[in-house]
Homo-oligomer: A and B are copies of this chain.
Amino acid sequence: AGKVALKDASDPYRFDPDRHPALKRNTEKPFNAESPPELLVDNFITPSSLFFVRNHLPVPEVDMKKYRLVIEVQGKKPISLSLQDLKKKYKKHTITATLQCAGNRRKEMSSQRPVKGLSWTFTAISNAEWSGVLLVDVLKAAGVSLDDPKNCHVQFEGLDKDESNNPYGASVPIEIAMNPFREVLLAYEMNGEDIPTDHGYPVRVICPGIAGARNVKWLSKIVVSPDESPSFWQQRDYKSFSPSIDWDTADFSKSPALQDFPITSAICVPSAGQKIDGEDGEITLKGYAWSGGGRGIMRVDISADGGKTWQVASLQKPGQRPYQEWSWTLWEVDVPIPEGFKGNMELICKAVDSSHNVQPDSVAGIWNLRGLMNNSWHRINVEVN
């Protein structure tokens, strides 16, 4: 209460919560922070307090006495649900799923050629257990059918608003929302507790396998529509382009909005520039690999000689059902240091998913002006003494 009193009532960020000091802060207002890489790979489930935070706008004030989730379907009466209604009327469903910001690893892309966006390194990604109700159950109860040609997209609106009072918004295709195998959740618990403020209390959409930006926090409204969300973030922001397209030639109206993620991976331990004692004879590498759309990880390869030879990492497989592998795979490998080797050593990782998709060798072919979906081989340099 003392703290709240100190906050300026005209500051739109006055409802932002306190955060864990170990988060690697990127921007304060809105709050954006990565998870600490060493702690990340030590936990299959990321503790909520260390889960990366990607806020586009100020954290909203939520009055639970008034909170209602509204569901609008053309030609039907709108449905209005309190949090208790949601919990009581629909079956509870739990999944473990990784969320990643579409701009994760943007910094590497930027170092090739400047791009627009937050300069994330490689830990704007985390994994948590989410509980809530299946979106498909709620939509079916609302009378939505996949066969109705005017039901094309499911739009989500958050309680967070920009200066012009426009809410944060996103949408996913109806084929995702209505497919029970895709397990899209209206989640009200994260890691067994109420979803923390920074992650969307009381209700957050969890679209497993899909770009973080579509996993709308502080959910207030669902609209089934022939059109995608009209929001800036759906229409003009989270879209990718060919490497030769610049801001003069980019036509956002013709580029599809990002949804499912491609395969990616990164080395979290050791850190770039770390000094390694060559007399240890080996370096232990740890990291994550993840793919979108429910695809699992088949293999992670590591090279310490620029890609000439590869070593296969040990995988901590999440044990999820095939084609519903929403969680990342943590991996570990001991890489031998050649006897007498001193100086700079480049370490590379790359992964293969269950659809045999692989990561591209370099950033050049996937560079895009918004710096999105950088899934090139992850390379770091360490110094062997």
Contact = CB atoms under 8 A, between A and B. Distances in A.
A175 to B, nearest CB: 5
The A interface is mostly helix, strand or loop, or mixed, namely loop
Interface in A364-385: 364-366, 373, 375, 377
A292 interface: yes
A226 interface: no
A350 B358 CA distance: 13
Contacts of A256: 298, 354
A260 to B, nearest CB: 4
Given A321-B175, A323-B179, A244 B357 contact: no
A262 B175 contact: no
A350 B365 contact: yes
Contact of A242 (B301, B354, B359): B301
A356 B377 contact: no
A112 to B, nearest CB: 13
Quickly give the copy total for this chain: 2
B323 A175 contact: yes
Interface in A327-385: 350, 352, 354-362, 364-366, 373, 375, 377
Interface stretch (A193-201, A265-273, A304-312): A304-312
A324 B175 CA distance: 9
26 contacts: A173-B322, A175-B181, A175-B324, A176-B323, A242-B310, A242-B311, A242-B312, A244-B310, A256-B298, A256-B354, A258-B356, A259-B355, A260-B295, A260-B354, A261-B356, A262-B357, A262-B358, A292-B356, A310-B365, A350-B365, A356-B375, A358-B360, A358-B365, A361-B361, A361-B364, A361-B365
